[in-house]
Structure 1
């Protein structure tokens, strides 16, 4: 029983990994093979589900935008308008620069992460079971429970931070900010550089690891619940799923707000 439970957990936590091993490009059958594929391996399930949720977001919002009317919004139009107004107010209160990119970026981050997180509400055996039935050995269907996805998004935000820091302050201004903050004296430039560069590099790590840690931990709990007898599963699955009604949007909100704050700091000209 212990071995079967361990295999069940490992199966649900293993990504569908495609890469090169022993000179051949193929899908990994075991976790060890996935590790042996190295850096250039790709998690096909993470890519597929993240792209799917991105297309769902674009399809719904584009459809609502085309059908929007000036009357009293109802149904999905009302929901979309609430989300858009919420994000606009958050950007207005948090972002102190001027950029036409920040509000659309914040909306995209929030909705994309919200949709990817929402996949967690699907029972843990449904999508992997369907995948196994069509010959796919492993399928981890919550993209934000994969650090590759969360780091991909956080690195994208980090690149924008660097871009706007240089665009707004110039190369010289950005360099001076790193060299003379927080101690404005030439003798403390090495100390300032260490502190500022470390602070800069911790931003993508904090974004990625916070989202990944919460989603991964929640996924593990759902998997452990699935190992229990059927009559106990539903008594625990329901409350845990209800708890995630708060966790899922909260993590999307935190990622969005921190991204806005970091980009706002990048627009500040000292």
Structure 2
């Protein structure tokens, strides 16, 4: 096991419970997960800074820098996907898709850090900077493994789909769709129920898919950390960790891509003439 934040060796259950706990400020409904907010905002700021630096140094030379090449490849790939799903010209769709993909990927990528690293840093900061004599400080590194983050992003996409639908069809036509879809106007009560279930299922599935995959990946890393209970288990732990890291790296890319793709799909469906 990697170095622990506990004063005594914890049990496996205590270790997992600790690493699945957020650094929470406040109580009840008004409580906030400080670690989630800090990590997601820092990553967002880093992406903005990176975009500013690359944009400022962008060149049309035959041999641009590797960083510029990488950014341009990602931008072109995401833009092509967005245009294929949302063919109508819209100034928001491309930047929105790029922001979703890069931000979700950055938050997912935090799962590549050693599971004990950020809790140890949080404990050191609390003790040496803020003078808090605290042990077992919880600090989760992966914002997308916190259910609040995928749900918040899914709700933003859901809200945008409503705005796009109303803007494209008009409020009356948009609301009328709930009365006649999918069974026709004579079954309006059933149509309303079915349409509401369909609409609510979109942000739920979008959020739960991302959360479930990242939560499971985070949990597997903790279980791998628990295999290092003795020195002779170190080679097995290292091999297992390497294999899961390679596999999980593919997962975090795919999940960022799927979240971006479905977000554009839902916006396209909201403006489709076939959708209600």
Deviation at 1:131, TM superposition (A): 1.0
Deviation at 1:187, TM superposition (A): 1.9
What secondary structure, in the 3-state scheme, does the structure 1 residue paired with 2:11 have?
helix
Q: 1:45 is matched with which residue?
A: 35
Q: 1:34 is matched with which residue?
A: none
Report the Cα distance in structure 2 between the residues aligned to 1:151 and 1:38, rounded to whole angstroms.
Answer: 19
Which of 2, 17, 20 is the equivalent residue of 2:24? 17
Q: CA RMSD in A?
A: 1.6
Deviation at 1:129, TM superposition (A): 1.1
Q: 2:13 is matched with which residue?
A: 6
Q: 1:267 is matched with which residue?
A: 271
Report the Cα distance in structure 2 between the residues aligned to 1:40 and 1:166, rounded to whole angstroms.
Answer: 32
Name stretches of at least 5 consecutive residues in structure 2 with no aligned partner: 1-7, 127-133
Give the TM-score taking structure 2 as reference length.
0.88
Q: 2:113 is matched with which residue?
A: 122
Q: 2:56 is matched with which residue?
A: 66
- The reply to whether residue 149 of structure 1 matches residue 149 of structure 2 is yes
Q: 1:209 is matched with which residue?
A: 208
Q: 1:104 is matched with which residue?
A: 95
Deviation at 1:99, TM superposition (A): 1.6
Q: Call closer, same or farther: CA 1:2–1:194 in 2, change over 3 Å.
A: farther
Contact 1:116–1:142 under 8 Å retained in 2: yes
Q: 1:228 is matched with which residue?
A: 227
Report the Cα distance in structure 1 between the residues aligned to 2:14 and 2:249, rounded to whole angstroms.
Answer: 29
Contact 1:18–1:43 under 8 Å retained in 2: yes
Q: How does 1:18-33 map to 2 (within 5 A)?
A: 18-19=25-26
Report the Cα distance in structure 2 between the residues aligned to 1:203 and 1:170, rounded to whole angstroms.
Answer: 21
Report the Cα distance in structure 2 between the residues aligned to 1:49 and 1:172, rounded to whole angstroms.
Answer: 42
Report the Cα distance in structure 1 between the residues aligned to 2:174 and 2:253, rounded to whole angstroms.
Answer: 34
- The reply to whether residue 195 of structure 1 matches residue 185 of structure 2 is no
Q: 1:246 is matched with which residue?
A: 250
Deviation at 1:2, TM superposition (A): 10
What secondary structure, in the 3-state scheme, does the structure 2 residue paired with 1:134 have?
helix
Report the Cα distance in structure 2 between the residues aligned to 1:51 and 1:122, rounded to whole angstroms.
Answer: 18
CA offset digits 1:89-131 (Å, max 9, x no partner): 0011111333210100000000000001011111101111111
Contact 1:145–1:212 under 8 Å retained in 2: yes
Q: 1:26 is matched with which residue?
A: none
Deviation at 1:76, TM superposition (A): 0.2
Q: 1:81 is matched with which residue?
A: 72
Name stretches of at least 5 consecutive residues in structure 1 with no aligned partner: 20-36
Deviation at 1:74, TM superposition (A): 2.6
What secondary structure, in the 3-state scheme, does the structure 1 residue paired with 2:139 have?
coil
